[in-house]
């Protein structure tokens, strides 16, 4: 009994603490469970955030790559002086300009010739020049004047396109070719000069497409002929452009009128002994004899191991 008395309350006590323990346990389980659940939720949230971040970065990288690809595509469309598939015929015009300015006509033992035609395009002589160049599979550089292209209308513009499409180089020879306007008192007026050349640049873009530009110019009358050209030289240098004169000519624009044989003779005579030849000719109105002389001139350079290059 005593024991009972002793144990009974203890028993009672024991059953009470068991309940408490159970409640506690339940609490632990419930709260623990909640904790586990909330920890799990947190874990998944974090994982989701990481995944979202990864996805975002992936998409960002994709967009950047796409942007770069488009930029590359865009870059490929740009043409400087020549079609991109005709770059293999072209030569750095800045280097040629430097060589001409220092009267250095050497080229490491390799002969190169630049056939250049000024004052076109004309609807009379240019088609013949293009035909002969094609027939002989050689490339040339056309220093065109805007005014003459405008004068020749759609036909002249088509010839300009043909020049580019046939792998030749197109360069700017001013709009007006007007000495008084470009060089009043024989001295360069840079603003007038640049405005005049820009007009032709715009026409070239209108005709050949917005991706076309040229960094090669030829000063009407020749860079060598005028005063105050330092201002132009600074401008050209700043813009990575080149002004190209010549070191040989067929003399189709000076002295008395010559026939095809005489023109070829002049071209050959002025080319002799030069590894690098920049030959001045004209494909404008009235220069039919220039076209007629061309096969003979091309033959001379071929026979003498010259490679035909364009200025770009």
Stretch that binds Zn ion, among 12-20, 88-96, 128-136, 218-226 (CB under 5 A): 218-226
- Select from 2-10, 84-92, 110-118, 121-129 the region that touches Zn ion (CB under 5 A): 110-118
Q: Which stretch binds Zn ion (CB under 5 A): 57-65, 80-88, 117-125, 266-274?
A: 117-125
Cα 171 to Cα 119, 133, 143, 148, 257, distances in angstroms: 11, 17, 5, 14, 26
User: Residue for token digits 């010739």?
Assistant: 113
Q: Which residue is nearest to Zn ion (CB)?
A: 118
Centroid of chain to Cα 95: 18
Contact stretch for Zn ion (CB under 5 A) within 113-121, 157-165, 241-249, 260-268: 113-121
118 vs 266 by CB, closer to Zn ion: 118
- Which of positions 223-242 make contact with Zn ion (CB under 5 A)? none
Q: How far apart are CA 309 and CA 92, in angstroms?
A: 10
3-state per-residue secondary structure call for 36-93: HHHHHHHHHHHHHHHHHHHHHHHHHHHHHHHHHHHHHHHHHHCEECCCHHHHHHEECH
Q: Closest distance between Zn ion and the C-beta of residue 145, in Å? A: 7
Q: Cβ 115 to Zn ion, closest distance in Å?
A: 15
Q: In the complex, what is the shortest distance from the CB of residue 240 to Zn ion, in angstroms, rounded to a whole number?
A: 23
Q: Which is nearer to Zn ion, 152 or 220 (CB)?
A: 220
CB of 177 to Zn ion, least distance (A): 6
3-state secondary structure of 213: strand
Q: How many residues bind Zn ion (CB under 5 A)?
A: 3
Selected from 89, 100, 119, 278, the binder of Zn ion by CB under 5 A is 119
Q: Does 118 bind Zn ion (CB under 5 A)?
A: yes
CA 52, CA 60: separation in Å to the nearest integer?
Answer: 12
What is the distance between the alpha carbons of residues 284 and 118, in angstroms, rounded to a whole number? 7
Q: Does residue 191 contact residue 145 with C-beta atoms inside 8 Å?
A: no
Choose the binding region for Zn ion from 27-35, 146-154, 189-197, 219-227 (rule: CB under 5 A): 219-227
Q: Dihedral, CA atoms, 79, 81, 84, 87, nearest 10 degrees?
A: -150
Min dist CB 146 to Zn ion, Å, is 12
List interacting residues with Zn ion (CB under 5 A). 118-119, 220
């Amino acid at each position: 009994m005593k024991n009972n008395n002793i144990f009974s309350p203890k028993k009672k006590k024991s059953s009470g603490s068991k309940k408490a323990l159970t409640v506690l346990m339940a609490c632990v389980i419930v709260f623990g469970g909640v904790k586990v659940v909330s920890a799990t939720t947190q874990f998944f949230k974090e994982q989701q955030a990481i995944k979202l971040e990864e996805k975002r970065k992936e998409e960002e990288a994709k967009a950047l790559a796409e942007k770069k690809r488009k930029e590359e595509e865009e870059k490929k469309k740009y043409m400087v002086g020549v079609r991109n598939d005709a770059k293999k015929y072209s030569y750095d015009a800045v280097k040629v300009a430097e060589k001409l300015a220092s009267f250095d006509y050497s080229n490491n033992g390799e002969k190169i010739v630049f056939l250049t035609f000024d004052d076109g395009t004309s609807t009379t002589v240019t088609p013949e020049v293009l035909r002969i160049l094609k027939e002989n599979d050689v490339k040339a550089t056309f220093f065109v004047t805007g005014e003459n292209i405008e004068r020749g209308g759609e036909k002249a513009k088509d010839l300009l396109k043909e020049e580019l499409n046939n792998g030749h180089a197109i360069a700017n020879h001013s709009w007006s070719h007007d000495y008084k306007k470009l060089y009043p008192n024989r001295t360069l007026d840079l603003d007038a000069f640049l405005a005049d050349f820009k007009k032709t640049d715009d026409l070239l873009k209108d005709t050949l497409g917005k991706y076309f530009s040229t960094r090669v110019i030829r000063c009407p009358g020749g860079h060598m002929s005028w005063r105050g050209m330092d201002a132009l030289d600074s401008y050209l240098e700043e813009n990575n452009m080149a002004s190209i004169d010549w070191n040989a000519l067929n003399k189709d624009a000076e002295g008395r009128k010559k026939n095809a044989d005489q023109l070829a003779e002049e071209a050959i005579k002025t080319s002799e002994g030069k590894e690098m030849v920049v030959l001045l000719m004209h494909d404008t109105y009235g220069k039919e004899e220039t076209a007629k002389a061309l096969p003979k001139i091309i033959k001379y350079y071929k026979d003498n191991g010259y490679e035909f290059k364009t200025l770009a």
